[in-house]
A and B are shown apart, each in its own frame.
Chain A
Amino acid sequence: MTTTTRPLKVGIMLPDTEREMAGETARWSDLLAMARTAEALGFDSLWVSDHLLYRYEGKEPQGVWECWSLLAALAAATERVELGPLVSCTSFRNPALLAKIADTIDEVSGGRLILGLGAGWHEPEYATFDYPFDHRVGRFAEALTIIAGLLRDGRVDLQGDYYQVRDCELRPRGPRPQGPPIMIGSTGPRMLRLAARHADLWNAWGRHDPSAIPELRAKVDAACAEVGRAPATLGRTVSVLIDLPDRAGRPRERPPFLTGTPDEMADALRGLAREGISHVQILLDPNTAAGIEALAPMLESLDRAAPPEHASGA
């Protein structure tokens, strides 16, 4: 396949949550088949969420396979695609150990990991699995210092309010001298400043309308300016929710969802690229192997040269 004209990277989120593969719970064999299909069709990346249990009043709880175990297995079973958590909650694992997990999976993948990080948000799973929900941004800031320090320098020492690591070392080191790229998913001002200081990429959930991007971009640029970072050096990514004609219905996400012909959807992604988005993570409905195959024409459309009215910048 040629991706020389693809204006942005296109990733696929796998159905890691109970009953979210068109109503079915994906087994490993399903996830593996979907991963290989996506890789063969030319998608750029695979993503899994990092949740433990969704619990909403009046709804059946939904559990999730463990994020990093899936990523390690996907890293071993694929060859080309990038892989990452969208995004990993730093409260769920000791941060120094999370750095070790990330570096190990970067090694298994041969340098294909994108380390998505966030502070988490779904309160019920914290108490259920024995994690504190308070001071999430304060905890995240310390966790990020530890994770980024270990992955980039191989060593960190921090006596924080929430975490204490003493003369900690990451051994062995993974395949990339600076470790995997770090992506921070948040739109909050404190989190954006942390992203501006430490991250390679930034991510926002559920945005497919290009007109929504300038306002977000202004926030990200402002955070960069505040910490003295050149805004152009922080890559921008958004997740996009696409509904295909044979959608099964989404238990949790709210509209609007991107729909249309392959050319229309490719145009929408081109619009995001023009607003500075370099990578999208697509959450499909139906989130099945057939859904991924049905999205292939959109990818082909995206790889063709842009229509003349958009070609000026190409």
Chain B
Amino acid sequence: MPDSRSRPLKVGLQLPEVERVAPWADLAVMARRAEEVGFDSLWVGDHLLYRTPGEAPKGPWEAWSLLAALAAITERVELGPLVACTSFHNPAMIAKKAATIEEISGGRLILGLGAGWNEPEYRAYGFPFDHRVARFAEAFTIIRTLLRDGEIDFVGDYYQVRDCLLHPRGPRPGGPPLMVGSEGERMLGLTLPHVASWNAWYAWFGNRPEGIPPLLAKIDAACRRVGRDPATVERTCAVLVALPGAAGRPAADPADRGAPPLSGSPAELADALRAFAQAGIAHVQLVLDPNTVAAIEAFAPVLDLLDAGPPGDGGEATAPDERARRTP
């Protein structure tokens, strides 16, 4: 595996969701290859069904099941939902799923949480779409308390868990780190006191490093409002990257269409990721187009360049091709 001591930010990979129906065999190959070439993390979307007018309906595999399976076949990478919708399961069940997958992975889960947005899937599957933030607030309290303390007694407007115990506990005493995926003021106010990291989807900042500072200013201000030291919240974002063979990622959310992908030579892509790091991003979740094992291979040189340090800073003591890649 590349020496990542000088890697300026963690680089994760989102597995195919809306792009195509990827059989498990394909996902398993992608996950193992991503781990071998040095990606830091693997991510799956948590959706049930997309119904876009004028397009055939489509849906991904179930997120938590994929995460458990990926945890069992990988050894090093972090794993997480990008992000899990708290409306799709009872919150105490989400805590139990998270603790179990945290255990299977040996402490590699990042628990991304959000309130969801895709109304048609709520209707089809019979979940309430109203009061999403208020429901999230209660669910978040239950989930984080169970994972941190192992117990909670809570009576809310939407959820009641009575003298609930989360046993057995996963490998990390405080549970997995929590990540919130939202730019909404209420969601930020609820979550920033408690989360380890914050996440932005690529459409929120035009998929460009230049779009990051105004967004982070908003996060900093929200942190100050709730008394959280902004420097202690890790900032992460999804980034869309076009590689040879890109056909255009099908947009799950029409708002995604306004964000052109990053593209260019490995050196240019490495520079762009360095620019994200310089803007304050500690972890990116790459959405590759095409989202294939070939694209993982094609992206691998970018990881090598990131690990070698910026051009001309003397950090290239070891040429990328001389470093051993991680092998299984």
Which residues of the partner chain A approach B328 to less than 8 Å between Cβ atoms? Answer: none
Which residues of the partner chain A approach B125 to less than 8 Å between Cβ atoms? Answer: 94, 96-97, 165, 168
Q: Choose from B64, B73, B163 the contact partner of A77 (Cβ within 8 Å).
A: B73
B117 at the interface (CB under 8 A from A): no
**Which of B84-92, B234-242, B275-283 lines the interface with chain A?**
B84-92
**Which of A66-74, A224-232, A271-279 lines the interface with chain B?**
A66-74
Known contacts A63-B165, A127-B162: does B69 contact A75 (CB below 8 Å)?
yes
Known contacts A69-B64, A76-B28, A108-B24: does B92 contact A97 (CB below 8 Å)?
no
A32 at the interface (CB under 8 A from B): yes
> B63-87 vs A: 1/0 string, CB under 8 Å?
0111111111100000000000000
Kindly state the interface size class of chain A when it binds its partner. 35 or more
**Which of B95-103, B285-293, B303-311 lines the interface with chain A?**
B95-103
Which residues of the partner chain A approach B65 to less than 8 Å between Cβ atoms? Answer: 68-69, 71-72, 101, 104-105, 108
Q: Choose from A32, A70, A101, A168 the contact partner of B124 (Cβ within 8 Å).
A: A168
Count B-side interface residues using an 8 Å CB cutoff: 51
CA distance A52 to B167 in the complex (A): 8
Which residues of the partner chain A approach B23 to less than 8 Å between Cβ atoms? Answer: 107
Which residues of the partner chain A approach B54 to less than 8 Å between Cβ atoms? Answer: none
A59 at the interface (CB under 8 A from B): no
Nearest chain A CB to B219 CB, angstrom units: 31
**Which of A169-177, A189-197, A215-223, A288-296 lines the interface with chain B?**
A169-177
Q: Is the CB of B159 within 8 A of A72?
A: no
CA distance A74 to B69 in the complex (A): 8
Which residues of the partner chain B approach A92 to less than 8 Å between Cβ atoms? Answer: 90, 93
Residue in B21, B58, B69, B89 with the greatest tally of chain A CB atoms within 10 Å: B69
Q: Is the CB of B104 within 8 A of A69?
A: yes
Known contacts A69-B100, A128-B165, A169-B49: does B61 contact A104 (CB below 8 Å)?
yes
Which residues of the partner chain B approach A129 to less than 8 Å between Cβ atoms? Answer: 90, 92-93, 96, 161, 164
Q: Is the CB of A32 within 8 A of B99?
A: no
CA distance A168 to B160 in the complex (A): 28
Q: Is the CB of B92 within 8 A of A169?
A: no
Q: Is the CB of A28 within 8 A of B62?
A: no
Residues of chain A from 175 to 215 with CB closer than 8 A to chain B in the complex: none
Nearest-CB residue, chain B, relative to A162:
B126
Which residues of the partner chain B approach A164 to less than 8 Å between Cβ atoms? Answer: 126
Q: Is the CB of A108 within 8 A of B69?
A: yes
CA distance A69 to B127 in the complex (A): 22
CA distance A279 to B275 in the complex (A): 60
B312 at the interface (CB under 8 A from A): no
Known contacts A32-B72, A130-B159, A168-B124: does B89 contact A53 (CB below 8 Å)?
no
Q: Choose from B62, B93, B97, B161 the contact partner of A100 (Cβ within 8 Å).
A: B62
Extra A-B contacts (19), CB below 8 Å, given A70-B100, A94-B127: A63-B166, A66-B99, A69-B97, A72-B67, A72-B72, A73-B71, A73-B72, A76-B28, A76-B72, A93-B89, A100-B61, A105-B65, A108-B66, A128-B162, A128-B163, A130-B90, A166-B124, A172-B59, A172-B60
